Amino acid sequence: MFKPKGVIPALVTPLDKSGKLMEDALRKLIDYTISGGVHGLFILGSSGEIYGLTNEQKRRVVEVTVEHTAGRVPIYCGASEITTRDCIQTAQMVQEIGGVSALSVLTPYFLTPNQGELMDHFKAIAKSTNLPIILYGNEARTQVKIDVKTCEELSKVDNIIGIKDSSGDMTKMAEYLRVTDRETFSVLAGRDTLIYSGLCHGGTGAIASTGNIAPKLVSEIYNTFVSGDHQKSLELQLKLSPLRLCVDKATFPVVLKEGLKMVGIDVGYALAPAGEMSPESKRLLVNVLKDLELYQTH
C-alpha cells in the first residue's frame, strides 16, 4: 500500500479575476515546487479552493497536474465536499482520470456530524474507491473534530492509510500516532509550524501550504531530519515559522497567492469574498520573503 511521506505542498489553484483556471500558471507552479525538492503535490485542498471550483475545473486541475507532473512525484488530491455523496462523486472522478496516488478527505464543513456519522462518512468514501484515503481534520475551519478514538477505528479500514492533522494541537497529533499502527498508517502535520515536532513523534511528513512559496526550505526540514541532523531541521523549522504566521494575515488563501506573486509566479486571485491584503500585511510579507531571500523585485 502507498505510504505518504515527506513534504507535500497543498497547491493553490491559479484563477484569473473572473475565476477562470490559469492552466499555464498551474504548470509553472508545479515545476517551481518540484524543482524546490518537494516529495509530492497536493491539489484540490482548502489552499486550492476546492470549495469554490466547478466540477469541470476540478477535473481540469487533476488532468493538468497528472499530465504535467508526468510521474516526477506522487500526486495527492482532495475529495472534500460537504456530503458523503459528493465526496464519492469527486473521488470517482479522480480515480477515473488516473495518475493520483491518494485522496485526502476533509471532514464535512457547515454540517457538524457526530463521531458515528463521521465514521460512516469516511468508511463509505473508502469503500467507493480503490484509491488510498488520507483523513483530514481541520477543526478551526470546519468546527468538526476527528476524535482520537475515531481515528484509531478508521485506521483499521484497509485503504485508509493516514491522517493530515491541522488542529495545531501537538498532544492530539501525538495521540493519533500512539493509537495507530506505524507500519500501515501515516500521520502528517497539517500545521506548518509543527512539521519538526510531528517528525520527532514519529510522523511521516507534512502537507504544507507554505510549500507553495518556499518549497526548498520546507522540504529541507524533512530531509535534514531523516538524514539525522535534527538540530538543522529544528533551525529550518524556526526559520519557516514567520512565513506560516503571515498566512493568517488575510482571508485564506489570499496570502499564499500574494506570496507566490512576490516570488515570481502570478497565480491570480482568490475567489470572492476573499479580497486583497492590507498594505501593512503586504509589507510584512515582503519583509519575511526578503529575510528568506525569496523576494523577486518587480
So which residues are the catalytic ones?
Answer: 136, 164
DSSP string, 17-29: TTS-B-HHHHHHH
Q: Which residues contact 187 (CB under 8 A, 6 or more apart)?
A: 162, 163, 165, 173, 176, 177, 180, 198, 202, 203, 204
Q: For residues 180, 103, 138 and 185, what is the CA-based torsion angle, rounded to 10 degrees? A: 10
- 3-state SS of 57-121? HHHHHHHHHHHHHCCCCCEEEECCCCCHHHHHHHHHHHHHHCCCCEEEEECCCCCCCCHHHHHHH
Q: Are 5 and 38 in contact (CB under 8 A)?
A: no
